[in-house]
Amino acid sequence: MTETRPFLPDSARARIGLVIMGTDEGGEVSFKQFLPSEVEVHTTRTGLDTEAYENGTFRPLSGFDAIGQALPPAPRLDLIAFSCTSGSIMTGMDAMKGVFIKTHPGIPCINPAGAALLGLRHLELSAPALLTPYPEIVHDQVRTFLAKNGLAPVADRTIEIFEDHLLSYINPRYLIEVGQPLVENAAADCLFISCTAFKIADQLRAMANEIGVPVFSSSQFMAWQALSQLRLPGAEDILKLGFPG
C-alpha cells in the first residue's frame, strides 16, 4: 500500500501580501480580479484615524510594524502591496518603500500611487483627468503629487464620498457622467479614477468605450506593477482592460 504524502505540492507562482484599509470593501476584490489564479493574495486590514484623514493626514490605527506582523512572514511572500492611494501619497513614496523593512526585510512594497505614475509613463500618457472621492484637502494632495511627478491633471474633480463602503457600490454610470465632461472639456488623454475602494475592475473597458479615452483605476495600476515586478505574464493585458475596444 502506497503511503499518502502529508502535503500537497505547492502550486503558487507568487505570493502577495495585501494591506487594505478596514473600511475598503472593494479593493481586495478588485485587486484579485486582475491577477491570475496561481498568484496567491494574503490580506490583512488596518483601521484608520478618519478624523485625521479628513484633515489631510494619514494615520493607521496600528503602526506599520503591527500591520506587517499580521501578514505571512517574509520567506513566504514575494511582494507587499499597500492598497491605499491617498495614504501612500501622504506617507511619501520614499517612506513607503521601507515601512515593512522591520517585519519583511528584502520584500519589496508597492502602492497604487507609485504604480499609477509608472503605468501612465509606460503608456506615454501625459494629460490625465483625475477623478477621486476624497475630501478636498486630500484630493489636492493627489493632484499635487501627479503634477510634481510630471503628470499634472488637465482636469480634476472630487465627488466627495468619504465612506469607503459606499464607493464599493457606486454606479459606474455615475462615474461616466462625472468623468466624461472632465475628459472632453480639457482634451485629456485618459481618466484616472483614484481610490482602491471603487469596485469597477470589470467595468473599465465599457467605461472607456463610452467616455472615448482609456480609463484606469488604482487597483488596476497596482496589479499591473505587481505582475511586472514579479516578472509574471499578463501585466500588459491588465492595462489593456482600460482601453476602448
Q: Are 85 and 194 in contact (CB under 8 A)?
A: yes
Res 122: pLDDT: 98
pLDDT tens digits along 173-211: 999 999 999 999 999 999 999 999 999 999 999 999 999
pLDDT at residue 103 above 90? yes
Res 5: pLDDT: 79
> How is domain 113-218 classified at the CATH fold level?
Rossmann fold (3.40.50)
pLDDT at residue 113 above 90? yes
Q: Domain locations in the chain?
A: 14-111, 113-218
Res 1: pLDDT: 62
Prediction pTM value:
0.95
Class for the domain spanning 14-111: alpha beta
User: Distance between CA 106 and CA 24 in Å, rounded?
Assistant: 27
The whole-number average pLDDT for the span 146-153 is 98
Res 7: pLDDT: 80
